[in-house]
Structure 1
Amino acid sequence: MDYKDLLKKLSESYGVSGHERGIYDLLKKEFEPISDEVKEDNFGNLIFKKKGTKGKYKVMLAAHLDEIGLMVKDIDEKGFIKFTTVGGVDQRTLPSQEVIVHGKKDLLGVIGSKPPHLLSSEDMEKAIKIDDMYVDVGLQKEEVEKLVSIGDIITVKREFKELLNENVSGKALDDRAGVVVMAVCLEELKKVYHYHDVYAVATLQEEVGVRGATTSSYNIEPDIAIAIDVTHAKARGVSRDIEVGKGPAIGKGPNIHPAVYKGLVDIAKKYNINYQIEPLPGHSGTDAWAIQVSKKGVPTGLVSIPLKYMHTSVETANMKDIIESGRLLAHYIANLPEELEGHLCY
């Protein structure tokens, strides 16, 4: 499988929280050859199962499919579309973006605001408020209203780009990069024996409350789970020890089971996989938060891909980190003992 091409396809697809279904066909096409079973649960999460040789225990992987975006809230008298946000959109990045309004048909538009020439010197020093922005699709109000309704979704139009040194940039790498990690893991597991059944779940609505992880972990009842997400990496003005290109970040803290953490670190050392440690003193802000407390509780880990410029349309990650994350998970699963009782004691 060409993982960079898969990430490109996923990044350029559109699936704001609650509207992820447009990516289902692509995911099924890519994951069916590396899965034994593919199903969709009641909430809409896509579950790709890889059977183990024993099948006594269940290992769950979770990476969220949804992305942040915008929603139509009004159409003014001149046909300009007013909007609000879905998820944690950084409104400072919105002016001058090309967008697609997903109405009765897709409409290309641009986000406009008052030109700088017409701003007061005081306003020039401030970030533009979302209430002062609008989408211009080039139509009059009557024409817009025939095609666009209140509540329709708007997404940023952005092409996936390859940068130097295996770095890549695009929208929604949070967390479509994590979905690619699951693909790497399942493909690696085809080459080795592993005792336990693996459930790789593309979860929905993480950006608005880890909802897909909540429902899927409740239904699957995993014995072990590992969430896959992105984490902030060192960048200009961002002081972090975690860096892009230096391997996956393994989470450590109260959201993480210590035996799962230790197992991931031990495997990284055993197979010479570069890794970084991410201290998480509280809420991890990921699907791991919901999975850990599902039903009777689930021993949960977290593997994160270092990412720059999170929640913008130019999120930047490194393909080596993505592939190494998948290898780490595959080796971890393949090295789990046949009996897990006692293995996961604190």
Structure 2
Amino acid sequence: MEDLDFLKKICEVDAPSGREDWLYSIIEDGFKEFGNITMSKMNNICIHKKGKSSSKIMIMAHADEVFLMVNEISKEGFLKFKAVGIDPKSLVSQEVVIHGKERIKGIVALKPAYEDKDKNKIKMENLYIDTGYNFEKLNDLVNIGDYITLKRNMSQLLNENICGKAVDNRASIAAMYICAAELKNVTSDLDVYFVCSCQEEVGHRGAGMASYEIKPDIGIAVDVTFDGGMFGDTDRENKLGEGPVICIGPNIHSKLKNRIIETADRHNISYQVEVEPGNTGTDAWDIQTAVGGIPTLLISIPIKYMHTSVEMVNLGDIRNTGRLLARFIQELKENELEGLFCF
């Protein structure tokens, strides 16, 4: 299927925070038929689809993925590293790619249990990367500060579930792709800006940048959220395969939230809800307070095993997220905005 092929492509490309430009050519190739594509100085990628009015809606999904960085090259020929957003337990025995002067494959290694007296405590400082090179060769190819990304191809599992690395948040970019395809032959009232934002994993920094540049009337962040099953967040009730998750809380504009729920009900699109009484930890947090305040929604795709190399989502959830966004945009009229924004 076309949307699955697109998802596979964007998940298997490496684009850590600060190097979202490595994803640009695939985004450009995928979205070029839907609007005008530009990239900002800090790597926010924007697809602009012109509407009938001057009012604007911004749909945002972050492009960056969690990553490692080289911070030491040992005389024995191993790499030490620092991590962003990754649990050390999930790194043991994983394949990685070091982005030095050339792409170098490596494995994350740990002392065998029979040699490690502290074997039950896996700490980042006890992990190292083995490339097979000696110090001289490694020192020639790798610099301190070079990026390291997880190496994993996407796998299809049962019941339309898929897993791989960087599914957070390329699944949401795939949902935007589906939304854009649904709107391809539709001219909406509002200008639509699809944004693949930069540096979310290091503090959702691209969200503020794009919000100030575009100045949208409405902002919708699309991200992933923890499932509530085994090994998930048992305080939540989110389940893979039961639809997009609509967030409720002070980060979310209550009238827009009601409107998108009505849209889902009207079109028989299954959805779930979750409560976030504080910081949602997503681009929505920064969109809301930019440019004097932007009415904001957060729509999430349930995910298992977040920030590992085997992040799992359901294709039906991705497609329903795209469909819901498309119906919401298609039915929204400029003359409704004033009433929607008034409490």
Q: Kindly indicate whether residue 34 of structure 2 is the aligned counterpart of residue 34 of structure 1.
A: yes
Contact 1:218–1:295, Cα closer than 8 Å, also in 2: yes
Q: Kindly indicate whether residue 203 of structure 2 is the aligned counterpart of residue 205 of structure 1.
A: no
Q: Kindly indicate whether residue 81 of structure 2 is the aligned counterpart of residue 83 of structure 1.
A: yes
- Quote how far apart the aligned CAs of 1:119 are: 1.9
Which amino acid in structure 2 is aligned with residue 117 of structure 1?
Y
Which amino acid in structure 2 is aligned with residue 231 of structure 1?
T
Contact 2:72–2:80, Cα closer than 8 Å, also in 1: yes
1:28-177 → structure 2 map (5 Å cutoff): 28-35=28-35, 37-52=36-51, 54-85=52-83, 87-120=84-117, 123-126=118-121, 128-177=122-171
- Quote how far apart the aligned CAs of 1:300 are: 0.3
TM-score (norm 2): 0.97
SS at match of 2:97: strand
Q: Kindly indicate whether residue 266 of structure 2 is the aligned counterpart of residue 266 of structure 1.
A: no
Match of 1:320 among 312, 316, 319: 316
Post-superposition, which runs of at least 4 consecutive aligned residues in structure 1 deviate over 6 A?
none
Contact 2:19–2:43, Cα closer than 8 Å, also in 1: no
TM-score (norm 1): 0.96
Contact 1:234–1:244, Cα closer than 8 Å, also in 2: no
SS at match of 1:99: strand
Aligned residue pairs, count: 340
1:265-344 → structure 2 map (5 Å cutoff): 265-339=261-335, 340-344=337-341
Which amino acid in structure 2 is aligned with residue 213 of structure 1?
A
Which amino acid in structure 1 is aligned with residue 203 of structure 2?
G
User: Could you say which residue in structure 2 is the equivalent of 1:15?
Assistant: 15
Extract unaligned runs of 5+ from structure 1: none
CA distance in 1, matches of 2:113, 2:159: 37
Which amino acid in structure 1 is aligned with residue 44 of structure 2?
N
User: Could you say which residue in structure 1 is the equivalent of 2:172?
Assistant: 178
Contact 2:189–2:334, Cα closer than 8 Å, also in 1: yes
SS at match of 1:343: helix
- Quote how far apart the aligned CAs of 1:216 are: 0.4
CA distance in 2, matches of 1:318, 1:119: 39
Identical aligned pairs, as a percentage? 46
- Quote how far apart the aligned CAs of 1:162 are: 0.3
- Quote how far apart the aligned CAs of 1:259 are: 1.2
CA distance in 2, matches of 1:237, 1:184: 29
CA distance in 2, matches of 1:183, 1:163: 22
Quote the RMSD (CA, aligned, Å).
1.0
SS at match of 1:176: helix
Extract unaligned runs of 5+ from structure 2: none
Contact 2:73–2:80, Cα closer than 8 Å, also in 1: yes
Which amino acid in structure 1 is aligned with residue 227 of structure 2?
A
1:177-256 → structure 2 map (5 Å cutoff): 177-238=171-232, 239=234, 240-256=236-252
Q: Which stretch shows the higher mean deviation, 307-316 or 333-342? A: 333-342
SS at match of 1:33: coil
SS at match of 1:61: strand
Which amino acid in structure 1 is aligned with residue 13 of structure 2?
S
CA distance in 2, matches of 1:289, 1:153: 27
